[in-house]
Amino acid sequence: MPVHYEPGDDHVVWITIDRPEAMNSLDMDHFAQLRKAWDRFGEDDDSWVAIITGVGNSFCVGADLKTYIPQITKLQREIASREIEELDGYRIDDGVRAVLRGVKLYKPIVAAVNGACVAGGMEMLGGCDLRVAVPEAYFGVMEPKRGLFAGGGTTVRLPRQVPFPAAMEFLLCADRVPAEQALAMGLLNAVVPAAELRAKAEEYAHRITANGPLAVRKTKESVLRGLAVDMSEAYRIESEISKEVFSSDDAKEGPAAFAEKRTPNWTNR
């Protein structure tokens, strides 16, 4: 089954991993589809916020190890032998880009975690800005239990997103963490019953789209770029972005709408 890309109301798009028979694990084709969905979202001017979720009782459990390793190994050989970057729509970096590692995507992303979120699913969660989960969901980077390493971004992002002791317990003990514990450590914004998951994720998305889309996007950009540099450079980036936003059409529209007691008509410019 595919990865669905479904634009909806109020500039919100749903991206859904639809492989419940394999706990929404990803083979080479699904990694490529998910990477293309993120690329499409980044380029889609009418979509301001994305919500990522899965079908069934799993959010995403990462790579399908039964199929992905031989597939990607074969692809690597073919691409190297032909000295090309892409073959039949597949790229070597599909896997890391699908889980948002190193992707410069400054539009907000909401995760609606409907179940198991481990391995690559957990890596992708680190690239999401707001996270809502059902009580039955669980989280983990359990690669160390098998002598492996999680190289999809979690060792870099998690210590920047939750308190250091919580991040290190999560990473080094490699335990399966239930939703309520994940909420307590600051990994999640909310835990809601399954019947309310979609509505809660959309509530967050609509609260975001009520704001100026350029201002929102540039705020996320300032945060992410600032986290990657020292404080003085982060302030320089903030000032640079601030000037860009204040010179925009939306920066004129927001105060005008406030003065006229009406809803702003954002142009995303």
Positions marked active-site? 123, 143
- Three-class SS state of 247: coil
Using the structure block, give the residue that is written with the tokens 């359990």. Answer: 142
In whole angstroms, what separates CA 79 from the centre of its chain? 28
DSSP string, 29-45: HHHHHHHHHHHHHHH-T
Tokens of 2: 């595919």
Tokens of 95: 């896997």
Using the structure block, give the residue that is written with the tokens 């595919």. Answer: 2
- Three-class SS state of 69: helix
Tokens of 207: 């609260």
Nearest partner of 126 among 146, 103, 144, 145, judged by Cα: 103
Distance CA 148, CA 130 (A): 28
- Please give the backbone phi and psi of residue 206, each rounded to the nearest 5 degrees, phi first: -70, -30
